[in-house]
Amino acid sequence: MTIDRTPSTSFSAALPQTLRRSFLAALASSSALPALAQFRVEVTGVGLTQLPIAIAPFRGEPQSPQKLAAIVQADLERSGQFRGVDASGTQLDETSRPDVALWKQKLADSLVTGSVTRLADGRFDVRFRLWDVVRGQDLGGQGYAVTAGDLRLVAHRIADYVYEKLTGERGIFSTRITYVTKAGKRYSLWIADADGENAQSALSSPEPIISPAWSPSGRQVAYVSFESRKPVVYVHDVASGRRRLLANFRGSNSAPAWAPNGESLAVTLTRDGGSQLYMISADGGEPRRLMQSSGIDTEPVFSSDGRTIFFVSDRGGAPQIYKVSASGGNAERVTFTGNYNISPSVSPDGRWLAYISRVGGGFKLHVMDLSAGTVTAITDTTADENPSFAPNSRQIVYATLQQGRESLMTTTLDGKIKARLAGQGGDIREPDWGPFLKH
């Protein structure tokens, strides 16, 4: 396979919607980011079956603003399915024919080589190639010509390429997450890369912001803002900053959850007394009550086929997770262990339910195998909140308290590989993992 050079192309009036991810990264390059948006990844724990891969330093990296090999390796390691093999000191690029015997000796199964070159126009030319060093086989490569601000995005796309080639599944490294920080009395809603880097503020407010939820298109985020001294649900277009009120009824309005078709949302309203679930068009308008219950119903979330809504209810006396048809009807209880189970998140493949369970005074992330009904606690922390699945169903992002500071973690579903997306200068909470973006 040859490497495509991507020629410089002038502005086209008709922008494919598939390009949105690229804008984001480019925009980041133009604005100074506050220190609190910076993240660090710390991988702890050991997985059992991990593919050993060496990512050679890209030729020209010392002159590049981003260390591409390190970003690719951190992405792959965070997935839990790869183990980095030391490749420091090697001088290889995408044109090199690697010494297969050497890499076998280092116990690497795969090798990534590449280069980054500054072009005359200030952009960077990035190329890479993936090798199967067990078979001595070239697994292909790609090339990109990008601005400095897009170098991280390119690294994530390389990680996606490697992940898909070697696991057969789609990578999530070039997706986005949203989360909320509280720094002093200031609340901010951020849009960041899946590794927590490259964060850009979408909203800044002196009042709390909670429960951000990506739209299925990845273009909008719904959230609850208290800016008018009560909880109100907004839908926010992240590209333009344009916001619209979705639910601002008498009482409290909260817990927005998009239907997978993006046309409507489930929300919790108290307009008729008590917290109850309603469906509302994404364009606003009159909400339709989903069910009638005597207690609290809240935290709705859709299964990815759109047919089922999981939610929290205290109708049985204590908060438990239930499910109900998206068209309403009788609810069925899902959690039976413990007396406080909240914040459900269903994996996109429909196999898993992540939620928070109170155990001995602590709040811990649990994962349920929905077909078998078995439940596993996957953390050692005691103040876990708000799990959200990666779009490939392989990782979960959640908030927790570490050393008294709110922070975000990613974990594999078995809890074996966790990475801390550690910020400074504020508490970080309410993560939501965005969808795959269409290519």
Residues 49-108 binding other proteins (CB under 8 A) are none
Of the candidates 38, 66, 64, the residue with the CA atom closest to the CA atom of residue 425 = 38
Please, what is the angle between helix 20-28 and helix 151-167, to 10°?
A: 140
User: Is 226 or 436 the residue whose CB approaches other proteins more closely?
Assistant: 226
Of the candidates 119, 98, 24, the residue with the CA atom closest to the CA atom of residue 56 = 98
Candidates 74, 116, 130, 145; binder of other proteins (CB under 8 A) is 145
Candidates 16, 62, 168, 360; binder of other proteins (CB under 8 A) is 16
Which x/- pattern, by CB under 8 A, does the window 211-250 give for other proteins? x-------x----xxxxxxxxx-x-xxxxxxxxxxxxxxx
User: Is 98 or 434 the residue whose CB approaches other proteins more closely?
Assistant: 434
List residues bridging with 377 in a β-sheet.
Answer: 366
Residue 4 is a binding residue for other proteins (CB under 8 A): yes
Q: Which stretch binds other proteins (CB under 8 A): 29-37, 59-67, 258-266, 368-376?
A: 29-37
Q: Which stretch binds other proteins (CB under 8 A): 36-44, 79-87, 295-303, 368-376?
A: 295-303
Residue 26 is a binding residue for other proteins (CB under 8 A): yes
Residue 8 is a binding residue for other proteins (CB under 8 A): yes
Candidates 41, 177, 213, 312; binder of other proteins (CB under 8 A) is 312
Pairing of β 110-118 and β 51-55 = parallel
User: Is 209 or 390 the residue whose CB approaches other proteins more closely?
Assistant: 209
User: Is 275 or 411 the residue whose CB approaches other proteins more closely?
Assistant: 275
Q: Which of residues 248-277 bind other proteins (CB under 8 A)?
A: 248-252, 254-255, 268, 270, 273-275
* Minimal distance, residue 22 CB to other proteins, in Å: 3
List residues bridging with 404 in a β-sheet.
Answer: none
Q: Which residues contact 158 (CB under 8 A, 6 or more apart)?
A: 68, 72, 112, 114, 126, 128, 142
User: Is 168 or 241 the residue whose CB approaches other proteins more closely?
Assistant: 241
Which x/- pattern, by CB under 8 A, does the window 339-378 give for other proteins? -x-xx------------x-x----x---------------
Which 3-state string (H, E, C) describes 65-84? CCCHHHHHHHHHHHCCCEEE
The residue ranges of DSSP E strands in 194-283, in sequence order, are 200-205, 209-214, 220-225, 232-237, 243-247, 253-258, 264-269, 276-281
User: Is 71 or 312 the residue whose CB approaches other proteins more closely?
Assistant: 312
Query: Which residue carries 């309410």 as its tokens?
Result: 430
Q: Which of residues 404-433 bind other proteins (CB under 8 A)?
A: 429-430
Q: Which of residues 148-207 bind other proteins (CB under 8 A)?
A: 149-150, 157, 191, 200-207
* DSSP string covering 81-104: SEEEE--TT----TT----HHHHH
Residue 400 is a binding residue for other proteins (CB under 8 A): no
Q: What does each C-alpha distance from 97 to 69, 73, 111, 125 come to in angstroms? A: 18, 21, 11, 20
Task: Kindly provide the b/e burial profile for residues 229-253, where b requires at least 16 CB atoms within 10 angstroms of the residue's own CB.
Answer: eebbbbbbebeeeebeebbebeebb
